[in-house]
Amino acid sequence: MTGNVSMEVLAKQCGTSIQMLEQHYSHIVPKMFTKELSGVDIGTAKKKISLVIKRAQKKSLKC
């Protein structure tokens, strides 16, 4: 669902229907598109927060 594979192809490959895929995996779709839905790239935001924390820890060790 994140690539160029259509739901039809995915359903056929899995031996199931599009309806079954939607029923069982529809809760995952919003998580896959967090950047588009929120306007925030979660991966980038986590990296920036981690960097800020590391810098703060280094400063506190110097004092």
> What is the per-residue pLDDT across 11-63, written as a single tens digit (0 to 9) for each?
999 999 999 988 988 777 666 676 676 777 767 777 788 888 888 887 777 65
CB 34 within 8 A of CB 40: yes
CA terminus-to-terminus distance, the chain:
50
pLDDT at 63: 58
Considering the entire predicted model, what is its pTM? 0.42
Burial zone of 36 (CB within 10 Å; 0-12 exposed, 13-18 middle, 19+ buried): exposed
CB 29 within 8 A of CB 1: yes
Distances (CA, A) of 9 to 12, 25, 34, 61: 5, 16, 24, 55
Residue 2 scores a pLDDT above 60: no
What are the residue ranges spanned by the domains of the chain?
Answer: 7-62
pLDDT at 1: 53
pLDDT at 16: 94
